[in-house]
C-alpha cells in the first residue's frame, strides 16, 4: 500500500489513501493501538488555530483598497487603488444599485441561513448581495484561497506585477459579472498574491463589513473542519512552488460583521474539484456540505457543468438539499429540477448560450423553459450573458410538486445528458459586454 503526500504537498485537493484496501488488524493490535492513542491524547492539548487576521487586514488595504494602515509603499498602493477603487465604485453604482433591490424583493424570508455556492471562483461579492443576512456562506471552486503571508515577502517589483493581475481580474468580474476560468488559473492558482482571498476581501470591503477573524483549514475524510495551526502554517510557507503553496492554503474561513454589529457571520471557501471522479476519490467536500442539512444556493458562470454526466454527484446533492437557488442557465437543469419537485422563474431572455458548452444537447432544456415561461425584464447581468450578449437570471425553488421536464415543440423527451463536460470553457461567443461607464 502506498500513501499520498501530506495534505500540504498534495497536487490537488485529495487527501486520501491510495492503493490497496486497508488490512484489518487483529483484536489484540487494536487494543494496543487504542491504549497508546488514548494515553498520548490524554496528555496532549490540541494546538490552537493560527489566526491570520492581521495578514488579511494588510491584504485588504493593499490589494482590496480598504481603508487602513499598511507597511507597503504608499505610491504602490495609490497606483493600484486608483484603478481598483474606480471599478468598485462603478460596480456599486451600476450593478449593486440594480441587483440589491431585486434580491431584497425576490429572496423569500425563512430560507436556510447556510448558503452553498459551487463553481464560485472568487465571487463573494454576488453572494453577499443575494444573501446579506446569511449565517454562513460556503463557496467551492478549483481556485485556492492562497498564501496570506505572501505580501510580506514580496519586493516592490513583484508586488507591482501581482497587483496589476489582481486589478485586471477584479475589473473583469465587476464589469462582466463573471470570471474567465483560464484567467483564474494564472491569477489565483499560481498567483504571487492570494488572489482569491483578495477578491473576497474586496467583496467584504464593498459591502461595508469589518473583519473579525481569518483562519485556514483542511477537511478530514469525514468532512469535519481541522484548522491549520501555527506549525502547519510555518511548514506550508516553506513550500517553494507557488502553486503548491497556494494549494496548501486552499481553504479559508473569514468571520465578519457589520460595523458596530454584535453578530458574526462566516464565509468559507473550499478548494475542490467537484466532478464525480474527484468526489469519489475524496468525498470530504460533499460530506462537509451534507452536514449542513437544507441550504440556500446559488451559482453562475459555472461552465454548464451541472448539465453534464460527470458532475451528476454534485447535481444530486443540490437537488436533495437546496430549498431555493438563484443562477443563470448554468444552474440545475430543468430536465432534472422539475421532475424532482422544483419550480422555475425566469428573467431576461435566453435562446442560446454564449459558449459552446451551453449549446447542443444542453441548450434544449433551457430553451424550452424560456419558451414555456418567458422571462420578465431584468436590468442587470447575472453570470454569463445569453448568445446575444444580454443578461438573464433563473430562480429555482422547491415546491415538492413534480412536473414533466420542459420540451421543445418537436421533442418527445429531453435529449440525453452529455456524459462529459468539455475541457475548455473559454470559447465565449460573443465577448461579454462590459458595463459602459457614462
Do residues 343 and 319 make contact, with C-beta atoms less than 8 angstroms apart?
Answer: no
pLDDT confidence of residue 433: 35
Q: Which long-range contacts (CB under 8 A, 24 or more apart) does 368-373 make?
A: 368/334, 368/405, 368/406, 368/407, 368/408, 368/411, 369/334, 369/344, 369/394, 369/406, 370/346, 371/406, 371/408, 371/409, 372/406, 373/344, 373/345, 373/346
Instruction: Please check the confidence at residue 78 and state whether its pLDDT lies above 50.
Output: yes
pLDDT digits (tens, 9 = 90+) for 149-168: 999 998 999 899 988 888 88
What are the boundaries of each domain within the chain? Answer: 53-275+287-299, 302-418
pLDDT confidence of residue 84: 93
- At 23, is the pLDDT very low, low, confident or very high (cuts 50, 70, 90)? very low
The residues pairing with 214 across neighbouring beta strands, listed in sequence order, are 254
80: nearest Cα among 70, 94, 93: 70
pLDDT confidence of residue 184: 54
- Which H, E and C letters describe the chain, residue by residue? CEECCCHHHCCCCCCCEECCCCCCCCHHHHHHHHHHHHHHHHCCCCCCECCCHHHHHHHHHHCCCCCCCCCCCHHHHHHHHHHHHHHHHHHHHHHHHHHHHHHHHHCCCCCCCEEEEECCCCCHHHHHHHCCCCCEEEEEECCCCCCCCHHHHCCHHHHHHHHHHHHHHHHHHHHHCCCCHHHHHHHHHCCCCCHHHHHHHHHHHHCCCEEEEEEEEEECCCCCEEECEHHHHHHHHCCCCHHHHHHHCCEEEEEEECCCCCCCEEEEEEECCCCHHHHHHCCHHHHHHHCCCCEEEEECCCCCHHHCHHHHHHHHHHHHHEEEEEECCCCCCHHHHCCCCEEEEEEECCCCECEHHHCCHHHHHHHHHHHHCCCECCCCCCCCCECCCCCEEEEEEECCCCCCCCCCCCCCCCCCCCCCCCCCCCCECCCCCCCCCC
Give the CA count within 13 Å in the CB-facing half-sphere of 333: 32
Instruction: Please check the confidence at residue 111 and state whether its pLDDT lies above 60.
Output: yes
pTM: 0.85
Q: What is the mean pLDDT of residues 283-296?
A: 98
pLDDT digits (tens, 9 = 90+) for 190-223: 567 898 999 999 999 999 999 999 999 999 999 9
pLDDT confidence of residue 171: 84
Give CA–CA dist 28/155, Å, rounded.
58
pLDDT confidence of residue 19: 31
Q: What is the mean pLDDT of residues 118-131?
A: 95
Pairwise pLDDT comparison (195 vs 438), residue with the higher score: 195
Average pLDDT, rounded, for the chain: 85
Instruction: Please check the confidence at residue 32 and state whether its pLDDT lies above 50.
Output: no
pLDDT confidence of residue 167: 87
Instruction: Please check the confidence at residue 266 and state whether its pLDDT lies above 50.
Output: yes
pLDDT confidence of residue 411: 77
Do residues 166 and 198 make contact, with C-beta atoms less than 8 angstroms apart?
Answer: yes
pLDDT digits (tens, 9 = 90+) for 174-185: 776 555 555 555
pLDDT confidence of residue 417: 82
Give CA–CA dist 424/429, Å, rounded.
13
Instruction: Please check the confidence at residue 186 and state whether its pLDDT lies above 70.
Output: no
The three cell numbers locating residue 252: 479559508
Kindly give, in sequence order, each residue whose CB lies less than 8 Å from that of residue 370, ignoring residues fewer than 6 positions away: 346, 349, 350, 351
- At 416, is the pLDDT very low, low, confident or very high (cuts 50, 70, 90)? confident
Amino acid at each position: 500500500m502506498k500513501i499520498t503526500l501530506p495534505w500540504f504537498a498534495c497536487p490537488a485537493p485529495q487527501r486520501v489513501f491510495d492503493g490497496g484496501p486497508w488490512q484489518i488488524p487483529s483484536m489484540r493490535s487494536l487494543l494496543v493501538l487504542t491504549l497508546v492513542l488514548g494515553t498520548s491524547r490524554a496528555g496532549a492539548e490540541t494546538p490552537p488555530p493560527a489566526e491570520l487576521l492581521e495578514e488579511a487586514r494588510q491584504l485588504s488595504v493593499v490589494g482590496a483598497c480598504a481603508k487602513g494602515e499598511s507597511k507597503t509603499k504608499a505610491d504602490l498602493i495609490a497606483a493600484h487603488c486608483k484603478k481598483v477603487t474606480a471599478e468598485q465604485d462603478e460596480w456599486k453604482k451600476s450593478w449593486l444599485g440594480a441587483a440589491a433591490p431585486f434580491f431584497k424583493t425576490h429572496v423569500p424570508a425563512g430560507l436556510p441561513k447556510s448558503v452553498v455556492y459551487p463553481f464560485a471562483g472568487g465571487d463573494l461579492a454576488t453572494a453577499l448581495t443575494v444573501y446579506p443576512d446569511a449565517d454562513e456562506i460556503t463557496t467551492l471552486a478549483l481556485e485556492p484561497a492562497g498564501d496570506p503571508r505572501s505580501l510580506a515577502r514580496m519586493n516592490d517589483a513583484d508586488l507591482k506585477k501581482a497587483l496589476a493581475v489582481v486589478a485586471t481580474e477584479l475589473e473583469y468580474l465587476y464589469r462582466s459579472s463573471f470570471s474567465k476560468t483560464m484567467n483564474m488559473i494564472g491569477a489565483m492558482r499560481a498567483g504571487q498574491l492570494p488572489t482569491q482571498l483578495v477578491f473576497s476581501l474586496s467583496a467584504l470591503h464593498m459591502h461595508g463589513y469589518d473583519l473579525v477573524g481569518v483562519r485556514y483549514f483542511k477537511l478530514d475524510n469525514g468532512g469535519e473542519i481541522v484548522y491549520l495551526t501555527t506549525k502547519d502554517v510555518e511548514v506550508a510557507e516553506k513550500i517553494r512552488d507557488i502553486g503548491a503553496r497556494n494549494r496548501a492554503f486552499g481553504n479559508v474561513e473569514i468571520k465578519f460583521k457589520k460595523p458596530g454589529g454584535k453578530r458574526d457571520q462566516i464565509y468559507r471557501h473550499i478548494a475542490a474539484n467537484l466532478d464525480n471522479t474527484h468526489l469519489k476519490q475524496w468525498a470530504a467536500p460533499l460530506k462537509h456540505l451534507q452536514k449542513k442539512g437544507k441550504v440556500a444556493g446559488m451559482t453562475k458562470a459555472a461552465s454548464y457543468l451541472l448539465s453534464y454526466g460527470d458532475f451528476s454527484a454534485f447535481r444530486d446533492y443540490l437537488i436533495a438539499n437546496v430549498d431555493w437557488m438563484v443562477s443563470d442557465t448554468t444552474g440545475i437543469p430543468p430536465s432534472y429540477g422539475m421532475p424532482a419537485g422544483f419550480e422555475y422563474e425566469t428573467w431576461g431572455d435566453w435562446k442560446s448560450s454564449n459558449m459552446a458548452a451551453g449549446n447542443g444537447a444542453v441548450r434544449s432544456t433551457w430553451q424550452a423553459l424560456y419558451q414555456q415561461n418567458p422571462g420578465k425584464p431584468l436590468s442587470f447581468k447575472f453570470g454569463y450573458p445569453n448568445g446575444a450578449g444580454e443578461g438573464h437570471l433563473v430562480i429555482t425553488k422547491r415546491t415538492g410538486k413534480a412536473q414533466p421536464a420542459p420540451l421543445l415543440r418537436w421533442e418527445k423527451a429531453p435529449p440525453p445528458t452529455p456524459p462529459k463536460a468539455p475541457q475548455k470553457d473559454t470559447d465565449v461567443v460573443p465577448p461579454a459586454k462590459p458595463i459602459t461607464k457614462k
